Structure 1
């Protein structure tokens, strides 16, 4: 019977039951398991379906050595089809607890089986779960990012909002640290929904889950405001740690918007270090959180007067070197230095000159220079190493295409020099007209080769200017990224046109009967162009992003664009 249950061999199991009545419900393993437990564990749904028809409620509720019913085993393994068969036969199974005195739905939540949790929640009566179990189920759903399930649990029992876990934290405190989990409340339009469902299913699911997370935070915050007296709301949020500052630290801007929209004065709260959420945002380089300052115009007038317990102003925090984990969000020391300059400049625009308080004998600018001295050196090395490598490639292309223009495909027509008597003095094959002069592919070859030569030469000059640059702090803000993006652009153009010139020569030599040869070569020639584009795309995109951020800083009076 044990082997039949493992293999899902119902025919053998049925014959054994006929020979030995009661074999289907007999304990047949060292774990005190019956055929139902074993078949459920190995997910033999067809076997379980036929077996359940012959069992009564007592048999379905039997437990193994560890105190688990077959439904508990199905919940742990995520076998929803088997769970449906069991619950259909005996609905009260959802309330029979397994090992650790846990209900099946709680077991499924611990193993992060979303479909199983959703199904068992729909079949488990609320009164069957203790308040502590509901809390654990809620926290499990939040931990697994199942916000639709978490919202359903909260709607069952909204008082869970105020309960605390073993760390003395409420669900709101936990959601404050879930950066990227909360999206905007607005649902996608019908057209967006249709497109995302068919083409971008993963993105659509993530978007809908973010909307559920937003609704969940909104619901919990409304419970807090309705239940807790106004003078105690701040204490609720600060214990055991400030949820506002935790959200600001990880960049959870949508969480902050929900709380401050209903309670704007919360933006004035300071933590134990006397820092506002904007000081924390600057310290942790969270641009999205810092951008909230533009939505709170009245805060700009008082922000310069805010100092932490170490007497550090907002501008001095921007001048400090951030933690490596924040710095490494941007690849490349040059772009890291660029972003640091943007942060300092943006905060400097907000904090008036008269408010730029010094720390000792150093101004914020001097503090910035001192703190970022090592980063400037690393940025200079990175930029010059990149420029040197790119210039080497550009030089090779220049050499190749320069030589190619003087060794034209097909050669030249013969030119013959004769004497006055009519005898041939010289027969020269290298001074006549190019043989394919009037062929369209020869024109493509010449134009492509000339473009490759000009663009590669330009790239050499641009990368050379980077190599000879002094690489001062301010250079990282505009000129170095500008030279790099144009250098990469002209280098890419030279690669494309060089490959085009190479392909054009094959179309010159092969006629219609062998047209597949140049087509094959041209197809293969796309590979290096594609590789260059894909491999260097990240570098080019980072450079464009840096220039865009600089443009918004200097030429647009708008919110900061800090990558």
Structure 2
């Protein structure tokens, strides 16, 4: 049989070396083994082989698969239960048992158990080297490299269970003696379903002796990555075992052959200061490894804010700070992009170097809106020279800050002495031209803020045109006559008339509504027969501050809309140019009238439902939200609002915004004060007090007395 043929092959000088490895794993110096002890051990193994041979010789062929699987599980339980070789043999060598005589033990030893594992897998997992040695002499060759459902071979099981080097040596030697196998390192290089070799498993389990032995047998797997893109070198970063670190990183390795994640970058990610220093000490070539984007250790440190990495910035590693990644960025540009200006200080020697796009650290900081970095760079006399430098596209830091709408960085740039606003890029565009185009593309608030920052910097400087611009962009010559061209391209009178009529309808409706609201105020007026002489015809809520806000807003809306109506009436009887000018003058009053009318409506409705607090609160705060939307839509939605260049008009606009904000704050405060005041003035919240069934007023005697005194004052 196949098992019997392997007996003589395995019987040789290997046993002594295996015993030595097993004792070596147990620690301590190896004791001297006498010839008598060695002969005694050999005698024991001869007896074990004889017992196994007798069982195999007495077994019958053609065994039932179910019965074979049953007894294989029994043997597996013996191994998992901690049984030794003698207990294992006692299960199969009882020749007097009639039930055991009909069992094909060769089939049992070569059968597969749960999860497609063999008895070799079980013995390797249990760390039973003697049982593993016995099984290796009697199982078929195909089981040496067989894999279970997870792809693990018996050698994987030895490494996973932190087995001895003796067990690994037995498996590796038996695998190398397999016939018809060209690759003698097949067992060492076999990967499981997760892409792990036995070396991956040994490193992960922290078996230093086993790692050293596997490396001595085959060095190739140390370069290989698993399914997680981690080589044994990278896995060593995840454990705290200096012996394994020394064994792996003391090797003379070629960085170009290491697959997966670079171990030196893993030390940066996991903040392994000790391993980082060890790698630089043992193999400086590993420090030059890069990730898939071409970034080295200083690129990664600048991105992750690992300040301790820059302590290793030595003459041997300074060249790494000059290397570009695939985006063309140096480590100093990554630090500027992330906003870590303290790293820029440490990379001061290369802080003026451009990246692949010709951009300096100031360009990058302005592009990504890193205001603190921009302020730091502009405060450094050596780096402020970068202020007006252009990249490969002719853009300065000011151009990029406007192009990517970064108002925070833009403010520091325009406030710096020496900023040149008249620089145009290779497309012939000034920074203000880019801001104007960005504003036309969308209505995001940061676009408006960037444009306003530029306008503030241009205030009082007047327009600028470089003569060279006419050569770069010939159409710029026509921009000098833009005003004349705009007058020549005035729309037809009929189109202007349609615009005027549309606005006239809106303004007239606002005038009509506000005029009517002025004489139909919330709460009505005091009646002639129920009020004193001084209060006749007065509004019942005159002392209410919410009512006062209603009256003010209604008046503002009335006169603003009336101003629009008058201007539009006058615009219809003159020529088209004057009509357009008059039409534009009605924009601001109408923008004021609409929010004012909305505010008057909000305060009026809130007053009328004041007796029901939850409804009044709901209407008031809901109205504030919509009023804010209307105000923003009217004031900030129109790009022309940001085209105001004259300082007085710009200040007036800011004051109008502040006035609105103050109005909302006052109204909120007024409404909180109204609840207590309304309780004291409850009798004045209606035009006339309620009457009872008899028609008499339900006021108290004191109220009647006061009313009679007011109507018939006493004579003196």
What TM-score comes out, normalization by structure 2 length?
0.41
Q: Computing the radius of gyration over CA atoms, which structure comes out larger, 1 or 2?
A: 2
Higher relative contact order (CA 8 A, sep 6+): 1
